Amino acid sequence: MRHKAIAVFAFFALALHGCAAPRQEPLKIQGVQADKFSKSYTILGAELHEELPYQISRAWFIRSLVEKATGASIHQIYVHFTYEGDWEGFDWVTDDTAKNLDLKKIEIINRTCFGKCTRQETLGVVLDGSFLRTRLTQGYELKFRAKHGAAIVIPVTPEQIRLQLAEIEKYQNLIASGTAPEMVPPPK
C-alpha cells in the first residue's frame, strides 16, 4: 500500500510540474472561423502540447469570440487532457493569483478501451478580456484539480497571448473599417 501511495505522489508531482516536449515549429494561430450564420469570429489561438509521465498528455489554446457588429471580444482557454485509467473528473481551476475561475466541461469521451481505457476531457476556462492584456509580458498559469486529487498546471505563454491579441486586433480593425469578411473558412 505504501508503494502505491509513493507512486501516486510521484505521478502528481510530475504532472504538476510537467515535462514539456521541445517545440519544433514557431507558434501560430490555428485559424479563424465565421459564416453568415455567426454573430462573431471564432479565433482559435496557438496550441501548446505536452506529454507527461504515466500516459498523460495535455494541449491548450486561447479561443476568442469577436462580435462582428461591435468588435467586442470574450475569451476562454481550451484544455484537452488525455490519460489512461479511471476518470479524473477535472472540476476546479484557479489562476496564479489564487482566483477561482469558471470551468466549463466541453467534452468527456473514451478514446479507446483495449485493456486500459484512454480518456479525454476537454475543458473551457472563461477569462476576463482585460486579463489577457495585463499578462502580455509575463503569461500566466492555471491550476486544474480533479476529483481524484490530480493537480496539473497549464502555462499560458506570453507568445500565445501576443498572437491572440494581434489576431483579435486585426479583426477589430476590419470591423471598424467596414471591410470585415462575413465568412471565413474553418481551419484545415
Is-contact 156 139, C-beta < 8 A?
yes
Of the chain, the end-to-end C-alpha distance in Å amounts to: 48
For residue 43, which of 151, 177, 143, 165 has the smallest C-alpha distance?
Answer: 165
Domain residue extents for the chain: 2-177
SS3 content of the chain, % helix, strand, coil (to 5): 20, 45, 35
Tens-level pLDDT at each residue, the chain (188 residues):
433 333 333 344 444 444 444 445 789 999 999 999 999 999 999 999 998 776 678 999 999 999 999 999 999 999 999 888 888 889 999 999 999 999 999 998 877 777 778 889 999 999 887 888 999 999 999 999 998 788 899 999 999 999 999 999 999 999 999 999 999 988 77
DSSP 184: B
For residue 76, which of 8, 156, 147 has the smallest C-alpha distance?
Answer: 156
